[in-house]
Amino acid sequence: MKSVFALATITYKEGIRNRSLFGIALLALFLFGFNITVAGFFMRDVGKVTVDMNLSALSFAGLLLVFFVGVNLMAKDIDRKTIHLVLSKPISRAQYIWGKYLGIQFFISVSLLLLFVFSCLTVGLLLNLYPNYFIGFSWTNFFIACFFVLVKFSVLAAIVVFFSSITSSSLITLIFSISSYVVGITIEEVVFYLRSEFSAQEKIISESLQTFIDIVSYMIPNFAVFDFTLEAAHGLVITSQRIFLSFGYGAIYISILLMLASLIFSRREFN
Amino acid sequence: MSEIQILNVSKTYNPGLFKKKIRAVNDLSFEIRRGEVFGLIGPNGAGKSTTIRMLLGLIRPDSGSILFRGKPLGTATIQREIGYLPENPYLYDHLTLLELLSFCGQTSGMVPEQIKVRGFELMVKLKLLEAQKRPLRTFSKGMLQRAGICFALLHDPSIVVLDEPMSGLDPIGRKMVFDLILELKEQGKTIFFCSHILNDVERLCDRIALTNKGELIKQFEGGDFLQDIDKTVFLHTSSLDEFQQQSVQSLGGSVRLEGEGHLLAISADNYHPVNSYLEKSNIKILGCRSEWMSLENLFIQTVKEQDQ
């Protein structure tokens, strides 16, 4: 366990000192500032737009954090053969995977926490400026939505670790991870469409394609599960069951991915 | 007693579809004894790094086995006993040397106080104390190499595996590492050493294995190359016939082929009789040498022979 935390610590430090982080943070701050500037144009919808823009800014920043910094934290180890040095120490391959994941996870959490503070300040400021247009707004819903942005990127970080464990290049890891993310955020809509009556009118969708999409929908993470933007923006009720299911889904998905990654990684050879 | 035994180990790399497989190591066998400095030399692509990686468990041999203190690698905890320095170590750019050493110590089961004391000792020895709080990305190539040595030696391993430890070092850095290896040798550590700088290998190693194309060509004892140069004269002469060679040998000299002629090694005590014989027999002296046989000559000659 000590080795896992030691590895997680250096991974976190390596990530948090990366200069790209400043760029990503500045971009997110710009989006928050932009939100304050343009909020007045929306009047009646200012509450909904504010929540939507803030959650989108957090999501966008998280995405950049995972793809531009997170990918390099593990894939570069393999790319540059730093892993030879690390594995020459008494660290098992499974410990390496969990250590790296925890480090990336901690890095994303700290970075998003910082942006979350700025996001709360933005929402708080606009809430004070336009209190009449924030009807139905709930801080609890906003916090839950922000928390699930973090859960979403925790799953994405596990995907990055998984692909890093099977490929030797950070570029391939990046391509696979982006593809998984794009499929993951759209898969729910595709499945809904195929099950809807509109799809019955489409002749080109064969049964085999439908089966294939069904299988893919179970394998690819459904990122829509972690999207609470609608509830947060419109002040809708979020049931504890949905929170529990979404969180459980994320936790199970991460555990399975990391176990698979550990299994593959322990059989892998490092030339 | 054997510390490490490499027994009939072979390894083939598969570079991918439609590409020819590469046989990196072929039926390689040698042993490294406790407390010795063992040098593995060979041209690029001879399988030296592959052998080290197999020893560290980074890759698995296709056939054969590697024993650590008599036990197969899978069951032995070699990582606790080993300190490894790869060729051109790539360290974490944004970490400081102190943080890197702290990581190394924690994973090796050291307590913080031990890490501090041992780290300080190594940083002083390798002249890195002033750079201890600087990010590793600001280090020069030689400094990174020395940082890698600190990383390898922090937990005071009983076996030290050094893959090209002098690579990228200036003459002062080389001397520093050279002295450090001698110090480790005095402490009774087992050192497994790969280098292209044959002069260092010759001076440091107790035994040397020469590999080419993944195969073991020859093994030498360190003494095969070292002579008491102060008391011996090496003369390069024109070619000697069988009788002349025997005569020189009977007078106490040693004879071996050297290019077109012969090389004679004559101790100071036997110099006059041998010299008189050479003059009397009209044997031409072409020059003198500073050594009997250099590892470099032997290396080039052996590799050329094998390539033919």
Q: What is the mean pLDDT of chain A?
A: 86
Chain A residues within 8 A of B92 when measuring between CB atoms: 10, 14, 82
CB B93 within 8 A of CB A82: no
What does B165-227 look like in DSSP terms, one character per residue? TTTT--HHHHHHHHHHHHHHHHTT-EEEEE-S-HHHHHHH-SEEEEEETTEEEEEEEGGGT--
Residue B83, beta-bridge partner list: B160
Task: Judge contact between B210 and B28, C-beta under 8 A.
Answer: no
Neighbours of A179 (CB within 10 A): 13
Using an 8 Å CB-CB cutoff, list chain A residues near B145: none
pLDDT band at B269 (very low <50, low <70, confident <90, very high): confident
User: A-B interface: how many C-beta pairs under 8 angstroms?
Assistant: 79
Judge: B58–A14 Cβ closer than 8 Å, yes or no. Answer: no
DSSP state of A65: I
**Over 90: is that where the pLDDT of A45 sits?**
no
Strands B22-33 and B159-163: unpaired
**pLDDT at residue A108 greater than cutoff 90:** yes
B87: pLDDT confidence band, cut at 50, 70 and 90?
confident
Distance CA B214, CA B12 (A): 10
Mean pLDDT, residues B247-276: 84
Q: What is the pLDDT of residue B307?
A: 67
* Burial class for A207, CB neighbours closer than 10 Å (0-12, 13-18, 19+): exposed
Beta carbons of A81 and B86 less than 8 Å apart:
yes
Cross-strand pairs, B219: B209
Q: Are A84 and B108 a contacting pair at CB < 8 A?
A: no
Q: Is B289 helix (H, G, I), strand (E, B) or coil?
A: strand
Element (H, E) at B67: strand B63-68
A136 within 8 A of A235, measured Cβ to Cβ:
yes
Under an 8 A CB cutoff, do B90 and A80 touch?
yes
Residues of A in contact with B108 (CB under 8 A): 89-90
Distance (Å) from the C-alpha of residue B83 to the closest C-alpha of chain A?
7
pLDDT at B223: 61
Distance from CA of B95 to the nearest CA of A (A): 6
- Please, are residues B205 and B38 in contact by the beta-carbon 8 Å criterion? yes
Q: Are B85 and B148 in contact (CB under 8 A)?
A: yes
Contacts of A125 (CB under 8 A, 6+ apart): A36
**Residue range A187-207, pLDDT digits in tens:** 888 877 777 766 666 656 677
b/e burial code for range A210-247 (CB count within 10 A of at least 16 → b): eeebeeebeebbbbbbbbbbebbbebeebeeeeeeebe
Rg (C-alpha) for chain A, rounded Å, is: 20
CA dihedral A65, A71, A74, A75 (to 10 degrees): -160
The one-letter amino acid at B39: G
- For residue A34 the two structure tokens come to 């932009």
Q: What is the pLDDT of residues A127-137, one digit of tens each?
A: 888 878 777 78
Residues of B in contact with A89 (CB under 8 A): 79, 104, 107-108
Chain B residue numbers with beta carbons less than 8 Å from the beta carbon of A167 are: none
What digits encode the pLDDT tens for the residues B122-176? 899 888 888 888 998 898 888 888 899 999 999 889 999 988 888 777 888 888 8
The complex's ipTM works out to 0.80
Q: What is the per-residue pLDDT across B216-245, written as a single tens digit (0 to 9) for each?
A: 888 877 666 655 555 678 888 888 888 888
